[in-house]
Structure formats: C-alpha cells, structure tokens
Amino acid sequence: MNEYDPNYLDFEQPILELEAKIKKIHDDPEKTAKSDKTLDKLQIERDNLISKIFNNLSDWQISQVARHPLRPHTLDYIPNIFDNFTELHGDRMFGDDSAIVTGLATIDNYKFVLIGHQKGRDAKEKVKRNFGMSKPEGYRKALRVMRLAEKFNLPILTFIDTPGAYPGIDAESRNQSQAIAENLYVMSNLKVPIISVVIGEGGSGGALAIGIADRLCMLQNSIYSVISPEGCASILWKDSKKASHAAEALCITSNKLLKFNLIDKIIPEPLGGAHRDIVATSSSLKMNILSIIDELNNYPVDQLLSERHNKIQSYGEFEE
C-alpha cells in the first residue's frame, strides 16, 4: 500500500497505486523488457479506473478537481496556447497585483489582450500571488489593459481562476467593491469582442470582475459560483463539513450552468482532468478560442453590444 500523496485527491488514491506499479516497471529497463504484457494490463486497468472515477464525479468532487493542486493555471497555458506574450504590469494608481496577469498575446494571426488569475504553485508563489485573490489594484490593472484593447481594437480573452476577491481590510480600504463594479460597467460596454473561460475556480465578484463577456465558457471540470461550497455550508447549516451538500444545491458545475443558460460552452478536458494532460487541454482551449473569435469578428459593434446587454439582462430568469 502506497503512502498518501497530497497531489492526488482522496478519490484518486486508487489510481496512484496503479501508477506506482507502472512507474516501478518503467524504472527498471530489464524488468520492462520482460513485463510487456503486465505493463499493458496495468495501463489498461489504470485507464479503465480513471474512466470509471471521472465519469461519475459528484458536484463536490468536481469542485475538488477544479482546485486540484496540479491543475494548470494561466501561466501554464500561455506557452502552450500563445505564440507570443508580453506581460503588462501595474494599474498606474497604486501598484502591481500578481494575482492577475495581463498582457498582449498572439495566436496564429490573431492578436489578443489576455487577462487571467494566477494562484501560484508552491508556498512562496502562492503568497506572492495571494492565492489568486486580487486586490483593487489587480482589477484596475485589468481595467487599464481592457481600455487599451478597445483603443487598439483588440479582442479580450480572460482566464478565470480565483476563490474570490481578496476580503482583507487593506483591499476594502482601497475600494475593492468600487473597483469590481467599475469593471462590470466598463466590460459591458467595451466595443471589442470579449471571451471568458473559467479554467478552474470561478468565485464570486472576483471572477465576475473579469467575466462579463460575449462568450462565457468553462473547462469541463471547473466551477463557477457566487460563493464557495464551504462558505455556503457555513451560512446555511453552520457547518462547513456539509460542503458536499452545498455543492449539489448551488449548481456550480459546467453541465448545470449550461443547462441554465448561464454559460455558452463547455470546453472538454482529457479524461482524468486538465492536470493529466496540459498539452491536450491547451489544444482544446486554443481550438475553441479561435472558433469563437472567428464567429465574433463577423459581428458589427452595435450587434455585439446589443447581444452582450441582452445576455446580461437574461441572468436571473426563473419560473414559478
């Protein structure tokens, strides 16, 4: 029995055991040559197990995959999707916020402005990036770059991956809510195409501040919610351990949000999640981004704005 690996979620631990056996054979060249049939059998068994597990995930398990410690972040996708990227820093008012990455990017013959949350990978980077929770200067940096995009007629692409806006007193003292509100207002009226993709965790106003878009997409195992399952459980049941119940009630998964017309498209991930094959996930993202921008580029500005406004106004529809 292998020791618990924090880079594997609880329900992934059985996969770890099979992968450890496969690795053991691979690490011994002599054994590999003699164990082709055993290796093939183990690989088939592993692939079948991954398929069984990931085709039957609960909403809470999908939430865990969206926060997976190995899940790719914005900076992981940049070299796999874009031909060139030049990062832009600072909000020209207070400072730079590493929780949001902004810059100029190209894919094939298309030029974009890219804005994305960055959570960080190891402890040092997580602190630097504030776990992907932006402060007002981060949203103002994003706003500055979005206005730049409109000035030079460049489409805007945003990657959403945050637990939410930073709730600390320093952020509040610098008008966190006003910064988010201004982004919502300006994005709703920008005269260039906007594509947003939830690549991991889309939390509350922190996600929405760069998520007003003509096309809002989600990676298959991502989540998008007004509050985290733990936060919801703490409020409704006074018990964060009931997060699994809250995840089900909140309807935060891509399949449910598409059903409610709150998103426009689900971008498929490789079996087992984006963290198992970043190249395949990047390819899927790139193909869908190019397809959407081809579509949006045919829209006159008036039609683009009209449909964006209609989309915003349609949120919150319900039946009695």
pLDDT in tens, 193-249: 999 999 999 988 889 999 999 999 999 999 999 988 988 999 999 888 899 999 999
Which residues contact residue 33 at a Cβ distance below 8 angstroms, ignoring those fewer than 6 apart? none
pLDDT at position 1 is: 45
* pTM across the whole model: 0.90
- Contact 198/161 with Cβ under 8 angstroms? yes
How do the domains of the chain map onto residue ranges? Answer: 10-56, 63-314
How much is the CA Rg of the chain, to the nearest whole Å? 21
Q: Which long-range contacts (CB under 8 A, 24 or more apart) does 299-303 make?
A: 299/193, 299/214, 301/191
Percentage of the residues of the chain whose pLDDT score is greater than 70:
95
DSSP 61-95: HHHHHHT-TT---HHHHHHHH-SEEEEE---SSS-
Rounded mean pLDDT, 17-31: 74
pLDDT at 31 exceeding the cut of 80: no
pLDDT at 33 exceeding the cut of 60: no
DSSP 8-state symbol, 2: P
pLDDT at 147 exceeding the cut of 50: yes
3 state DSSP class of 274: helix
pLDDT at 155 exceeding the cut of 50: yes
Which residues contact residue 193 at a Cβ distance below 8 angstroms, ignoring those fewer than 6 apart? 155, 156, 214, 293, 296, 297, 299, 304
| Interval 239-263: pLDDT, tens | 888 999 999 999 999 999 999 889 9
Rounded mean pLDDT, 137-154: 95
DSSP 107-164: ETTEEEEEEEE---SSHHHHHHTGGG---HHHHHHHHHHHHHHHHTT--EEEEEEES-
pLDDT at position 32 is: 55
User: CB burial class (10 A; 0-12, 13-18, 19+) of residue 39?
Assistant: middle
Identify the band that residue 39 occupies on the pLDDT scale cut at 50, 70 and 90. confident
Pick from 193, 198, 172: which is nearest to 267 by CA?
A: 198
CATH architecture label of 63-314: Alpha-Beta Complex (3.90)
pLDDT at position 96 is: 92
pLDDT at 25 exceeding the cut of 70: yes
CA angle 85, 89, 91 (to 5 degrees): 140
- Contact 263/218 with Cβ under 8 angstroms? yes
Rounded mean pLDDT, 146-160: 96
Residue with tokens 């994003």: 142
| Interval 41-70: pLDDT, tens | 888 888 888 888 888 899 999 999 999 999
Strand (E) or helix (H) holding 203: strand 194-203
Please tell me the distance from the alpha carbon of residue 175 to that of residue 132, in angstroms, as a whole number.
Answer: 18
The alpha helices in the chain, defined as continuous H runs, are: 13-26, 29-34, 36-54, 59-66, 74-81, 123-128, 136-151, 169-173, 176-187, 204-208, 229-236, 243-250, 254-259, 278-296, 301-314
Least confident of 71-80, 84-93, 285-294, 307-316: 307-316
